[in-house]
Homo-oligomer: A and B are copies of this chain.
Amino acid sequence: MSAPTQPQFDPDLAREEAAGDPRQLVERREVGMSLEAPFYTSQEYYDLDIDAIFAKSWIFVANEAEIPDAGDYVTVTVGRYSIIVTRDDDENVRAYHNVCRHRGARIINDERGSVGRIVCGYHQWTYGMDGKLVFADSQAPDFDPSCFSLRGVHARSVGGLIFICISNDTPPDFDDFAATVEPYLAPHRLREAKVAKQIDLIEHGNWKLTVENNRECYHCGGHPELLSSYFPVYGFDLDDLPPRLVPARDRYVTAMAELVDKCETLSLPYAEIEELDTRPTGFRIDRVPLEKAGESFTPDGTAASKRLMADFPSPKLGRLGFHVQPNAWFHFMADHAITFSAIPIAPDQTLVRTTWLVHPDAVEGVDYDIDNLTSVWRATNEQDAGFVERAHQGLLSPAYIPGPYSPSEYQVEAFINWYIGRLRKHLAE
């Protein structure tokens, strides 16, 4: 009645391994295998992730469509940072640390709003939209307001998607990244789009588990709603598929040929670019067909909005898929777009913010129904939250040891390659 003696387990050894410092664990990371547990579970490594990854990369945090007019703002949280993302008087996107230069109070508590100036709610220190201190009551004569501007955060919009970089020392490849992807995004005219819905979901797992889960379709059997419109061959080698996926592959190949024709006719970029772990701003972009009606992420695959985005001539343009290391993924269809950001809250908590965008003149209840527009990804996100929690729970056990990626998880591995590379660079500095 004894349990199997293989593999043996020594709790002392497990504890000792878990105590390794980040440099050691980064160096001994085994390619092809999942990471060791401390990367996901320890506060120390979480803090490292904020410093090395989230403060030093370009992070997607909002859409221009969320702040259409001068003075509009959203406040976003990244680790312990709170950041005001706003549009200045010249309609440029700007970002500032949401920390008053007086005694450090959080300036704005609201998640979004519109202001003429940025006024701290404690002692009314008042800053212009350019971050300069323009009013501070009752100061001594030698007080110099020019020393107390808001601390800035780098902010860039690419095709209407707002990226920020907290560190002053920004990754050098952003211009190149922007120039490469802008032609794919431009036809969707996201800057003019309207936010139809935004939903925040807290996943009970480390942010890397959220991203890893997003980067493979090996688990797509757990997404019945998604499979109404999504080809579950994502990440697989089309020439080496499990038999269950062969019929879907055949439909996919046919639909892809049709989509290529249409893209050529409309001059829509569609070629896959995959630079996942070969640059600081790693990304992947391609345009691929959708299942069934092939128009959109809806229960029957037909367009969710009658008013197509950007005056597209056809609802059946497949899906422009895009994701950017470390924290964002996107789906752009003819009728709507969906943006996702994953933001760490704690070692075991991640905020996933999903935003649905439609044509600015699309009318809710007339052109689109919110439930129909959002149902597939609401269900899919909830399922993914379950997978991420399950993954995190398992890693907490001292009995966890890294295991092998399957070939269809190559994008998970690419994400981890990118991540380890960024950590290594940070630790070397």
A171 interface hit (Cβ, 8 Å) = no
Task: Judge whether B106 and A393 touch: CB under 8 Å.
Answer: yes
Which residues of chain B come closer than 8 Å to A93, judged between CB atoms? 1
Which residues of chain B come closer than 8 Å to A130, judged between CB atoms? 4
A323 interface hit (Cβ, 8 Å) = no
**How many of chain A's residues have a CB under 8 angstroms from any CB in B?**
94
Closest residue of chain B to A153 (Cβ to Cβ) is B3
Task: Judge whether A394 and B100 touch: CB under 8 Å.
Answer: yes
Interface hits, A174-220 → B, CB 8 Å? 212, 218-219
Task: Judge whether A403 and B101 touch: CB under 8 Å.
Answer: yes
How distant is A130 from chain B, measured CB to nearest CB, in Å? 7
CA distance A98 to B391 in the complex (A): 11
Q: Which residue in B138, B153, B236 is a CB contact (below 8 Å) of A406?
A: B138
Task: Judge whether A391 and B167 touch: CB under 8 Å.
Answer: no
A102 interface hit (Cβ, 8 Å) = yes
CA distance A295 to B112 in the complex (A): 43
Interface hits, A250-273 → B, CB 8 Å? none
Which residues of chain B come closer than 8 Å to A400, judged between CB atoms? 97, 99, 104
Given A4-B152, A406-B138: A104 and B167 within 8 A (CB)? no
Given A138-B407, A404-B143, A406-B138: A122 and B387 within 8 A (CB)? yes
Task: Judge whether A9 and B167 touch: CB under 8 Å.
Answer: yes
Q: Which residue in B98, B138, B168, B403 is a CB contact (below 8 Å) of A218?
A: B138
Closest residue of chain B to A2 (Cβ to Cβ) is B154
Task: Judge whether B11 and A167 touch: CB under 8 Å.
Answer: yes
CA distance A122 to B220 in the complex (A): 9
Q: Which residue in B100, B168, B236 is a CB contact (below 8 Å) of A9?
A: B168
Q: A11-B166, A81-B398 are in contact. List 8 more A-B contacts (CB 8 A).
A: A3-B94, A4-B152, A8-B168, A11-B50, A82-B394, A100-B403, A106-B394, A138-B408
Interface membership of chain A positions 384-407, coded 1 if the CB is closer than 8 angstroms to chain B and 0 otherwise = 000100110111111111111111
Chain A contact residues: over half helix, strand or loop, or mixed?
A: loop
Which residues of chain B come closer than 8 Å to A137, judged between CB atoms? 218, 242, 406
CA distance A117 to B267 in the complex (A): 52
CA distance A405 to B139 in the complex (A): 9
CA distance A105 to B221 in the complex (A): 16
CA distance A162 to B80 in the complex (A): 39
By Cβ-Cβ distance, the 8 closest A-B pairs, closest first, are A3-B152, A97-B399, A11-B55, A106-B394, A4-B152, A106-B393, A8-B168, A104-B400
Task: Judge whether A80 and B168 touch: CB under 8 Å.
Answer: no
CA distance A93 to B152 in the complex (A): 56
CA distance A366 to B69 in the complex (A): 58
CA distance A95 to B105 in the complex (A): 38
CA distance A167 to B82 in the complex (A): 40
Given A109-B390, A403-B148: A104 and B37 within 8 A (CB)? yes
CA distance A169 to B11 in the complex (A): 10
Task: Judge whether A123 and B218 touch: CB under 8 Å.
Answer: yes
